Amino acid sequence: MESHQDILKQAQEKVLAALSPAALKEIEREFLGKQGAVAGLLASIPSLPAVQRRDVGKNANLLKKAIQQALAERGEALAATSLSAERKGEGFDPSLPPASLMTGSLHPITQVTRELEDLFLSMGYSVIDGPEVELDWFNFEALNIGRDHPARDSQDTFYCDEAGKFSLRPHTSPVQVRAMEKLEPPFRVVAPGRCFRNESTDASHEHTFHQMEGLVVGKDISVGHLIGAMKTLLRGIFHRDVEVRLRPGHFPFVEPGFELDARCPFCNAGCSVCGRTTWIELLPCGLVHPKVLQMSGIDPEVWSGFAFGLGLSRLVMLRYGIDDIRHLLGGDLRFLEQF
């Protein structure tokens, strides 16, 4: 039988003569593979006289390590040679930029949502979440929108069962109810998220869109608090003071209810964004209806609150000058790559 030394010598010679990584693999197989020389040595141990066994085993392991090391060193040398050959070769241009990495970016809705979350967190609000498939109770009933209420028509959504118990939420307002049922007043929360409506789509309507709901419950909450919070919000979004006005608006879960308009941040005398009126319809809001507080277990004699529903999709469109809501969730990379 060949000695360890002989095997090592043979292996080292072959390794030094190898000219490619493939040749090294072949040598590795020959010496270290299942049928290789080292395996042969190990297999012979049981048939050896007991006194030799230990030494043969030990040497076989040393041999294996030595061959592995020779292979690794030669591998590195080959890689270095091939790199320097490539560099010296024709057509190598060190000034070429490296292959570009494909990096993604955050969706504009995610960017604006995170910015608003930070803003509200700095104002002492908590950010909360609610389900997208929602019970009729939270979507409508507990918001004072009974079975036959006409507001169900303008908020027609996708129903998930024959009985109409579950549906995709048509607004983020159900999270208000979940908050009132769960939290002890006083509290302030915002709830951003996806909403769905059974809607014919056009440049300003989409079956899936985003809102951010806001709810503040405390003692002696008034319209003044609402206006103050909205002005702070607008200052955060547009980085300056923005004039606001309230128009009456009807939503069954607030009383009184308003449409809050902001002075157009893009012009002084009217532009295409504000339809030449200098006002932009920004968000519906109001003081929480006492009946809604009561239904969620909050005593309207002690507590009051205000709520608002910020159209995130609309805000993103305003911010980036996007003229068609269908771009937002269309998934077209030519659109998304711009953010």
Alpha helices for the chain (secondary structure H): 4-17, 21-32, 37-44, 50-88, 108-122, 136-139, 151-154, 174-182, 223-238, 290-295, 312-320, 333-336
Q: How far is the CB of 195 from ligand DAH (least distance, A)?
A: 7
| Residue of 285, 293, 315, 328 interacting with ligand DAH (CB under 6 A) | 285
Decide whether 38 or 180 has the Cβ nearer to ligand DAH. Answer: 180
Residue 229 near residue 306 (C-beta atoms within 8 A): yes
CA distances from 228 to 42, 264, 306, 310, 325 (A): 84, 18, 11, 15, 29
Q: What's the CA gap between 228 and 188, in Å, rounded?
A: 14
| Residue of 108, 193, 286, 305 interacting with ligand DAH (CB under 6 A) | 286
**Binding region for ligand DAH (CB under 6 A) out of 108-116, 123-131, 281-289, 293-301:** 281-289
**Binding region for ligand DAH (CB under 6 A) out of 9-17, 220-228, 239-247, 250-258:** 250-258
**Binding region for ligand DAH (CB under 6 A) out of 12-20, 271-279, 283-291, 313-321:** 283-291
Q: How far is the CB of 230 from ligand DAH (least distance, A)?
A: 11
Give which of 17, 72, 74, 6 is closest to 40, Cα–Cα.
6
284 forms part of the interface with ligand DAH (CB under 6 A):
yes
* Tokens read off for 116: 């608003």
Q: What's the CA gap between 175 and 187, in Å, rounded?
A: 14
Decide whether 125 or 308 has the Cβ nearer to ligand DAH. Answer: 308
**Residues in contact with 218: Cβ distance below 8 Å, sequence separation at least 6, in sequence order:** 185, 186, 187, 188, 303, 304, 305
Q: What's the CA gap between 131 and 226, in Å, rounded?
A: 26
- Contact flags string 183-222 toward ligand DAH, x per CB under 6 A: ------------------------------x---------
* Tokens read off for 245: 């006005």
Decide whether 71 or 283 has the Cβ nearer to ligand DAH. Answer: 283
Q: How far is the CB of 337 from ligand DAH (least distance, A)?
A: 31
**Binding region for ligand DAH (CB under 6 A) out of 216-224, 226-234, 301-309, 330-338:** 301-309
| Residue of 293, 307, 325, 328 interacting with ligand DAH (CB under 6 A) | 307
173 forms part of the interface with ligand DAH (CB under 6 A):
yes
**Binding region for ligand DAH (CB under 6 A) out of 91-99, 186-194, 216-224, 279-287:** 279-287
Residue 285 near residue 258 (C-beta atoms within 8 A): yes
Q: How far is the CB of 256 from ligand DAH (least distance, A)?
A: 10
**Binding region for ligand DAH (CB under 6 A) out of 27-35, 56-64, 101-109, 251-259:** 251-259
Decide whether 130 or 309 has the Cβ nearer to ligand DAH. Answer: 309
- Cα of 250 vs its chain's centroid, Å: 34
Q: Is the peptide bond before 186 cis (omega within 30 degrees of 0)?
A: yes
CA dihedral of 207, 212, 218, 223, whole degrees rounded to 10: -80
| Residue of 128, 140, 309, 314 interacting with ligand DAH (CB under 6 A) | 309
CA distances from 141 to 147, 157, 225 (A): 7, 15, 27
CA dihedral of 251, 255, 256, 258, whole degrees rounded to 10: -30
254 forms part of the interface with ligand DAH (CB under 6 A):
yes
Binding site for ligand DAH (CB under 6 A): 171, 173, 213, 251, 254, 257, 284-286, 307-309
